[in-house]
Structure 1
Amino acid sequence: MSEAKLPEGWALSILSKTISANGLISDGDWVESKDQDPNGSVRLIQLADIGDGDFRNKSQRFMTPESANALNCTFLKSGDVLIARMPEPLGRACLFPSVGQEAVTVVDICLIRTGEKAAISNKILTYWINSPVIRNLIAANASGTTRKRITRKKLEQFELPLPPLAEQKVIADKLDTLLAQLETTKARLDRIPQILKTFRQSVLAAAVSGKLTEEWRKVESYLNWNVIKLEKLIMASANGLSKRSGKDGEETTILRLADFKDAVRVYGNERTIKLNAKEVDKYSLANGDILVIRVNGSIDLAGKFIRYEKNEEIEGFCDHFIRLRLNQEKILPEYLIYVSNEGAGRQYLKSSLSTSAGQNTINQTSVKGLDVPLPPLKEQTEIVRRVEELFAFADNIEQKTNAALERVNNLTQSILAKAFRGELTAYWRAANPELISGDNSAEALLGKIKAERDTLKKQPKKKTAARKKA
């Protein structure tokens, strides 16, 4: 923002000149593991504690007062501005609220204490740092290859638009109100995915218990269901291909778990192996086959069922899967997925896992022992239709929720940008010219700070104690 475009009474100033003479801009302290003590009474504030406008109070690292003093640590004060010099996101800032005990911060957090008689309030400084303009400036000035960083020295030299102090309070109050309303909206939207997850689980539970089609069954005069072992519904089963390369035969795609995301096929990273005719016959997949995750480090994935949809080309499967070829005159693959991946079916499969060296494994015998509540094929078709219809409804709500969340996030940045340009307080400035001019202008405030600094420079330096306590 150029000076020509500044609102009346505002000024441009680098960050280091906006804080008072008794203020502070400093890196955090270099505290190594050997300096920490879980029984210490001094809290060590870390990057995980710094939210995008909020203090998250997540970390649990401590040190003793003796170690903090020996390292000449800077003790935090309530209201200090903390800026994360590493992602994510880079440059996020929050106010330190006090944590009920002495606290210091790690070196990757920049500490700014505006001090008494500063030209900028700690609230406005936090909002400015989190605004799109400064966040983009931070990104442009970051260094590093694997993890970007912003240095304190660069932060000190950033030029900020500076409103008069009275206007800063009005801006901060407006932002507090508007952003609190947005946070309330965002919190409500954030709850919707969990509500939809519970809804989907309830739909599947109703589907495999018969409640979803209870009225339909009465109209169609269908009898009650039977419970049958999965083994009686399978025509064939097999573990996948174990070899990782072949010398003879046709190049054939061998599916791995990496070729699926949330049980949906993804493309672009397939692995091919040469298979001879016998191997192709043994390991090829047919439409409607079920792939069971035979082994995986995650207990939430091992034993999960995936429905295979036929590709144009012949595809096989690796030994991380068990292939089930169903008798589709008795059971639909889609219906079996409902039974196996939720509720009692999923609990049975998880309880059948064996664990060794961090890997969870299930065998064919356990898979075939799954109890399947089995309705007639016509009712299975109706169940699948209803589940897909209800899931499509939930998916539509989720898409709208995600779009609304994106709009809320964009609106937050838009509001901060308007505040940064002075647009939120245009009417207030017109109504209160005496509060933004003369001695109340930002230029006057900066002049007073400069005069105070010049006076202090002429005074003899005092000896400082090792402990930099708040």
Structure 2
Amino acid sequence: MDIEVLESQNITQFADPYSTVISSINDLFVVWDGSRSGLVFKGMAGAVGSTLMCLTPIGINNTYLYYFLKLQFYYFNQNTTGDSIPHINSDLFYDLEIPFPPMEEQIDIVNLIEEKWVKFENDINKSNSELIQSLRNYLSELNSNLAETELNKIHSLEDFKNSVLDYAVSGKLSNKRSDEYEEYPKIRLGEVLTSINYGTAKPSKKNTDGTAIIRIPNLKNFYIDLSDLKYSHLTEDEYNSLKLEIGDILLIRSNGSVNLLGRSCIITDKEKGLAFAGYLLRLRLNHAKILSEFLNYSLHSPVVRRQIESGGRSSSGVNNINTDEVKNLTIYLPEITEQREIVSNIEKLLVKIEEAEEKNKLTSQLFDNLYQSILNMAFSGGFSSANPIDQSFSTIIRQLEIEKENKLNEIKLLQKAQSTLLNEKFMSSKDHEKVKDFIKKYSVEQYGKSDFILSDEDIRNIKIKTQDSFKDFDSDDFSSIFLEMVQSKVTPTDDLPFFITVKNDEKIGFQIRKS
């Protein structure tokens, strides 16, 4: 299990139960490494991944501890150790003091937290639903031909943005279409391009000497950010072939993230005359056939994104798309007049989406603050029933020690059982006699016929079978053991060699020694 599994509850990887830490639903997980260090999750049954710390609560309600650790996220996350990869500061973690009311009060606090949070969650969901419904209504006003079933598929702002782009470029947002929806004609993207070119491979620097080069980090969603430009020295011919014109489109052709592959932006008056880097493509359009804005929105639409992402070839973790693949992308192509209407409708809707996103961000921030307030109140005594603890502190500590000792004994028994199962499943590669016995048995079964000479392929098969049957067995282990099994006797007490060397067509081969 890793962070992705804990967030999605979708298990895609499996491990053997003999050599891994096995968790239960009563445990808690803390992200121990990486940028999200300090994040806490409720338990699941499974094998614990390497970046997670599995906690087994003793003498404390696991949900109570879960909420308390959630409250500490920023404390842990902002005080990590490590230079390149952040890690939880273990001293801070293990020295953390936890409010420790009686078990009954812990349960009361959990119930009060969840009761108050459920109310806030309902308010959040209601606010989001109203926001989405207002966007659906606006979309319906733009085009009354959109079916109710289409609108009801929109459940989030991301759904809305994707739907707007898909509806727009395919013809569902044009009031000039007939009541019965009809798709726009489809073409290959190359049919509306006058040229497609790679950028410069020359290195660029931060100083302002030379020509400004637009790079991948400058391409944002629908616009180019000029705040972090680098510069290169270009010859006159290089500059003339690379300079950008208003209406050109830049497209990311190579990136480690498939989500960024194919991202595009339009060149405006601000970027006119600049050059572009090698991991970008410049698309120059036939403006009599297609508007730059329409093509840019098309390239961002899910229908085209699916083509880009499915065709993106990965080389050593880097996704690529070449000029031929870009030219072969299928896009819709309405008449220029309809393209103008579509672009206008998209831009109106994007303004609405930006307003909704800002409102949603403020709402989420408000409720995050409320959530933190609830947790702070809970763990500072604000929810306390003021019931006195009816046991001495020393008695409580002793009970915890007993519970901890019992739990450690359970873990030791589990580890012993795992070790036993592991030994049953795998023979130890360090026990050479067992390995030799296995090689002898397998060789006799497969190659024990009279005068059979083992080929190189036969010896490879023996090695592979041995590696499959022994844990941590490698080529060096096999080579040394095989050599022992063909060596001649040195002293009278040595075993006779199992394999003997023979000459076959002027080459040295091996046979199983006859008893």
Larger CA deviation: 283-292 vs 136-145: 136-145
Quick one: structure 1 residues 395 and 178, their matched pair in 2 at CA, closer, same or farther if it must change by over 3 Å?
A: same
| 1:176 Cα offset (Å) | 2.8
Secondary structure in structure 1 of the residue aligned to 2:172: coil
Please report the TM-score for the alignment, with normalisation by the length of structure 2: 0.58
The corresponding residue for 1:173 is 111
Compute the RMSD of aligned alpha carbons. Answer: 4.7
Residue 323 (structure 1) shift? 2.5
Kindly indicate which of the two structures has a greater share of residues assigned to strand: 1
- Equivalence for 1:149: 88
- Check whether the contact 1:240–1:320 (CA below 8 A) recurs between aligned residues: yes
- Deviation at 1:96? 4.0
CA contact (8 A) 1:48 1:58 kept: no
CA 1:228–1:312 in 2, change beyond 3 Å: closer, same or farther? closer
Task: Mark the CA change 1:76 to 1:124 in structure 2 (over 3 Å): closer, same or farther.
Answer: same
Q: Is 2:6 the counterpart of 1:63?
A: no
Counterpart for residue 58 of structure 2? 114
- Tell me how far apart the structure 2 counterparts of residues 451 and 371 of structure 1 sit (CA, whole Å): 72
- SS for the counterpart of 2:213 is strand
Please say if residues 91 and 150 of structure 1, whose CA atoms lie closer than 8 Å, have aligned partners that are also in contact: no
1:187-240: CA deviation from partner (whole Å, max 9, x where unpaired): 78899796333333332333233332234x78xxxxx97767655644555443
Q: Which amino acid aligns with 2:65?
A: L
Count of matched residue pairs: 379
Q: Are the counterparts in 1 of residues 190 and 328 from structure 2 also a CA contact under 8 Å?
A: yes
Report the alpha carbon displacement of residue 252 of structure 1 after superposing the two structures with TM: 0.6
1:409 paired to 2:368: yes
Q: Which amino acid aligns with 1:373?
A: L
Residues 114 and 95 of structure 1, relative CA distance in 2, 3 Å threshold: farther
CA contact (8 A) 2:312 2:319 kept: no
1:420 corresponds to 2:379 = yes
Q: Which runs of 5+ in 1 are unaligned?
A: 1-44, 219-223, 430-435, 457-463
| Match 2:69 to one of 129, 142, 154 | 129
Cα shift at 1:415: 0.4
Point out the structure with max Rg over C-alpha. Answer: 2
Q: Distance in 2 between matches of 1:114 and 1:317?
A: 60
User: Relative to structure 1, is the Cα distance of residues 48 and 61 closer, same or farther in structure 2, using a 3 angstrom cutoff?
Assistant: farther
Are the structure 2 counterparts of residues 295 and 413 from structure 1 closer, same or farther at C-alpha, using a change threshold of 3 Å?
closer
Q: Cα distance 1:58–1:124, how it changes in 2: closer, same or farther (>3 A)?
A: farther
TM-score by length of 1: 0.63
Structure of higher RCO (CA pairs closer than 8 Å, 6+ residues apart): 1
Q: Which amino acid letter does the alignment assign opposite residue 208 of structure 1?
A: V
- Mean CA deviation greater in 268-277 or 408-417: 268-277
What is the match of residue 380 of structure 1?
339
Q: How does 1:22-421 map to 2 (within 5 A)?
A: 60-64=14-18, 79-80=26-27, 83-86=30-33, 89-93=36-40, 96=43, 99=45, 109=53, 111-115=55-59, 120-132=60-72, 135=73, 138=76, 143-145=81-83, 146-151=85-90, 155-182=93-120, 195-215=156-176, 233-244=192-203, 251-296=210-255, 301-303=260-262, 305-311=264-270, 314-342=273-301, 359-363=319-323, 367=327, 372-377=332-337, 379-421=338-380
**Partner secondary structure for residue 311 of structure 1:** coil
Change (3 A) 1:382 1:168: same
Partner residue of 2:485?
A: none
State the distance in 2 between where 1:189 and 1:124 align. 29
Measure how far apart 1:178 and its partner are: 2.6
> Which AA in structure 2 matches 1:124?
Y
Residues 46 and 109 of structure 1 are in contact (CA less than 8 Å); yes or no, is this contact kept in structure 2?
A: no
